[in-house]
Amino acid sequence: MNTAVIYTSQTGFTKRYAQWIAEATNADCLELSKAKTKNMDHYNTIIFGGWACTGGIKKLKWFKNNINKWANKKLIVFCVGGSPIDNPAIEPALKSNFTEAELKRVTVFYCPGGFNYEKMPILSKFMMAIFIKTLKAKKDKKKTDKEMIKMLSSSYDISNKKYIEPILDCINHKDMPY
């Protein structure tokens, strides 16, 4: 089976997951800018990885614009974000990036990554500083608010190779609709 893992990464977490998936499946691993210039016709499975930003998946538009062209392919999207895997807001946020028809064609996964302020562009650092300041200023903070402030106040890495297992199972599952 020919598989392509295509990714976009701001600070390296999504790239790491893309490389792990590609290594485990002997797939081609392509940064999005290279994939845009490549013919995808010979791939049976196309996997797209983007990073989470305010509930959206970065650079997903390119993938979505090609879904109909890839009618006979297995399509998978993984999103990497800073939230732990058990955050109940993740699933609805992921699904909100797709129409019902797209969700019938695409299998979507979440992989916890983290924050790397050292590699983050200045604008992203600034936006995070404002977000943290807003959380700190909030009256009647809930436990989750306090945990988020603590978590987002410095760089952290919660990525783990174990989170690609459901993606690998999906790739290898022969009865998946595509």
* Number of H-type helices and E-type strands within the chain: 8, 8
Q: Amino acid identity of 62? A: W
Residues 6+ positions from 97 with CB-CB distance below 8 Å: 55, 56, 57, 60, 79, 108
Does position 3 have pLDDT exceeding 50, yes or no?
yes
pLDDT digits (tens, 9 = 90+) for 11-51: 899 999 999 999 999 999 999 999 999 999 999 999 999 99
pLDDT at 120: 87
Q: How far apart are CA 51 and CA 56, in angstroms?
A: 8
pLDDT band with cut points at 50, 70 and 90 for residue 178: very low
> What pLDDT shows up at residue 177?
47
N-to-C CA span, the chain: 14
Confidence (pLDDT) at 78:
98
| φ, ψ dihedrals at 104, nearest 5° | -75, -20
- Cα 98 → chain centroid: 14
Judge whether residue 83 has pLDDT over 80: yes
2: pLDDT confidence band, cut at 50, 70 and 90?
very high
Whose tokens are 């019902």? That residue is: 100
- For residue 175, the model assigns a pLDDT of 53
Question: What mean pLDDT comes out for the span 86-107?
Answer: 93
Q: Does the predicted TM-score (pTM) go above 0.85? A: yes
10 Å CB burial of residue 115 (0-12, 13-18, 19+) is buried
